Chain A
Amino acid sequence: MTAAVATPGSFWRTFRRDREGMAGLVLLLLYTGVAVAAPLLADPAGLSRINGTGMPQSPPSLAYPFGTDEDGRSVLTMVIWGTRVSLIVGVAATVISMVIGTGVGIAAGHFRGAPGGLLNRLTEWFLVIPYLPLAIVLATVFPPAVPKIIAIIIVIGVTSWSSTARLVRAQTLSIEGRPYLERARALGGGHWHQMRRHVLPNVMPLVLANTTLTASIAILAETTLSFLGLGDSQRVSWGVILDQAYQGGAVSNHSWWWILFPGLSLVVVVLAFNLCGRALERALDPRLRGATR
């Protein structure tokens, strides 16, 4: 995984030839469009439990293409607004995760001796500790004064950075051995200067590919935590819809639409992120580019 990318232009040309990656990108743009245009697509009043206009748990029809839930709300309206919440949570958590992961990774690779060693150990601990139990525990003990949606973002952010940190550290170690960094060191460049001007630009392509994969995990995590009841019931995300469906008897009533549509929205967006991430990796890794020869 050498990040020896020539220019953004050639990178984009490689990426554009990748059909999987382009499919993922188009889907992501579509979802972003839905999230941005949510107020135009569906009336937010339809999200309120007391404003349900349809029959409870009725199957898809012309008026309610995705059917209704137990309060007679349109599942379509909830899925559209859920797109917004799920994407915001996913992206915000990813940003936190990438900032921590990149920072810890560069520092762990740059500083020799105890500080670097300690950061490396910390990364390994977080890699080993099972993700979901840790996230559950964190979400449970979060101060109740903090809005739950913020809590979820922070919880996901601080539990998902370790794999990024590990990758970035490995890349930093390989960059630190290169001659120009030794020159920067010899010329008396400070730690901050070395890391910011020389290491960071070189790990960025790797971080970029990792971001999309982390985003897919963050969105999955948000949905899973919300499904387990740790979500914000005031702000309907896909996971919250699924939690309400599970609690509200969708299973015993066989109300498949209440589960399938939010579920599919989730799977498709996670898939889109994964496809993009894989394509980015292929574009970055010359070993794979030649593989189809």
Chain B
Amino acid sequence: MALPATQRLAETAPAAEPPGRGRRRAALTPRYVLGKVLASAVTLAFVVVVNFFLFRVLPGDPAKAFSPRGRNADPQRLVQIRRDLGLGLPWHEQFWAYVKALAHGNLGTSWGQKQSVVSAIGDRLWPTVLLSGTALLVSAALGMWLGARTGWRYGSPFDRLSSGVSIALYSTPEWLIGLVLLTTVTGTAFPSGGMTDPRSTLPGAVDVAWHLVLPCLCLVLVYIAEYSLIMRSSMLDERHAEYLTTARAKGLRDDLVMRRHAWPNALLPSTTLFFLSLGFVVSGAITVETVFSWPGLGRLTYDALRGPDVPLLQGLFLTFSAGVILMNLVADLLYPLLDPRVRAA
């Protein structure tokens, strides 16, 4: 849900700025790379500052706010919370201590998991990468294909059907699809949750894949809608380009005009938006992992906020933000490689 609403839904991308936050045409020079890396670092620093202040500069006694049982928390626990948060020190010292710890890779100790936040997150990272990564690859491939077809045949019955379904799916939260699937399908063919089943006779990888099917399906259905709408709008922008008339004049079949000429051009803005939509992917991961008890960062977030387990939530917020910022950086660095107009400049 981090992507600008109009960019995802609009039939055309806003013309005022090129897609990708005003990304200017720039070659992949050391200066460009350094600039982008620095900008990402500044964004990350902003997240760190937000993270720090949100959890400390609160009215009242933060310790009580964070204690699971509110005002009736046991005093020993409150002391530990106060020590963990470094309360009592002047805030700039608290901040300095926080940054120093962060630089050493220390995010504190989880209140609920009885382990360090870093190791709790490390344990759960790969299941999330597996689930989100699979869903992303499948839906990007299918969505871009579908979007190209529908945009090319704007207004055709296929386009109207596909766009209608896409907008409906796009209006549906991933986890709701998960809940509906769980109440109807499971108990029959697919497991209702988790990532493995100790009683299973299947080989490990197959068992994981089996557990992956339903949560992945929920994500894919919604992401396909998203990516096909993005690709469709890029295609609509490209559809009347003059070089397509040239391609037709050469005697190319309509299908080839689309695949060879329109598609590569429409792909460029779509690729940028694909990376920018990763914030949206994070929301999907959190909620779908919750519904399917998938042992990843999303389910960990749910468990942490039910606590609430403040150090863990802080660490997760930082991890998700860093991941999305990193992916945006990758998009920035990849774009010049994909677009020849930028590459050779």
Contact = CB atoms under 8 A, between A and B. Distances in A.
A260 B43 contact: no
Interface of A: 1-2, 121, 124-125, 127-134, 136-138, 140-141, 143-145, 160, 162-164, 166-167, 170-171, 173-174, 209-210, 213-214, 216-217, 220-221, 223-224, 227-230, 242, 245-246, 250-251, 254-256, 259-260, 263, 266-267, 270-271, 274-275, 277-278, 281-282, 285, 287-288, 291-292
B21 A124 contact: yes
Contact of A254 (B167, B175, B184): B184
B234 interface: no
Contacts of A133: 282, 286, 301, 316-317, 320-321
Given A137-B313, A210-B5, A1 B301 contact: no
A259 B179 contact: yes
A163 B4 CA distance: 4
B125 to A, nearest CB: 15
Contact of A143 (B60, B167, B286): B60
B272 interface: no
Interface of B: 1-7, 9-12, 14-17, 21-22, 42-43, 46-47, 50-51, 54-55, 58-60, 65, 70, 154-155, 167-168, 170-173, 175-176, 179-180, 182-184, 186-187, 192, 236, 278-280, 282-283, 286-287, 290-291, 301-302, 305-306, 308, 310, 313-314, 316-317, 320-321, 324-325, 328
A228 B282 contact: no
A143 B2 contact: no
A214 B5 contact: yes
B321 A129 contact: yes
Given A129-B2, A260-B183, 16 more contacts: A1-B14, A1-B16, A127-B2, A129-B50, A130-B320, A134-B321, A138-B54, A163-B6, A228-B286, A246-B291, A254-B187, A259-B176, A271-B171, A278-B167, A287-B15, A291-B154
Nearest to A239: B173
A128 B325 contact: yes
Contacts of A271: 167-168, 171
Residue of B6, B46, B320 contacting most chain A CB atoms (<10 Å): B6
Contacts of B60: 143, 145
A145 B64 CA distance: 12
Nearest to B164: A20
A21 B55 CA distance: 43
A129 B168 contact: no
Nearest to B170: A274
Contact of B283 (A125, A131, A245): A131
Contacts of B21: 124, 127, 166
B6 A210 contact: yes
26 contacts: A2-B15, A121-B42, A124-B43, A125-B46, A131-B2, A132-B282, A133-B321, A136-B301, A137-B313, A143-B59, A162-B4, A163-B6, A170-B22, A173-B16, A213-B9, A228-B305, A229-B306, A246-B291, A251-B179, A251-B182, A251-B192, A259-B180, A259-B183, A267-B168, A274-B171, A281-B9
Contacts of B186: 251
Instruction: In the A-B complex, list the 10 residue pairs whose CB atoms are closest, starting with the nearest.
Output: A163-B4, A170-B16, A213-B5, A132-B283, A270-B171, A130-B279, A130-B282, A271-B171, A131-B1, A133-B320
B22 to A, nearest CB: 8
B69 to A, nearest CB: 12
B12 A1 contact: yes
Nearest to A162: B4
A133 B154 CA distance: 37
Contacts of B291: 246
Contacts of B306: 229
Nearest to A227: B175
Contacts of A251: 179, 182-183, 186, 192
Given A1-B12, A133-B282, A133-B286, A267 B171 contact: yes
Contacts of B10: 1, 278, 281
Nearest to B56: A141
A163 B5 contact: yes
A103 to B, nearest CB: 17
A224 B10 CA distance: 23
Contacts of B172: 267, 270
Contacts of B301: 133, 136
A203 to B, nearest CB: 11
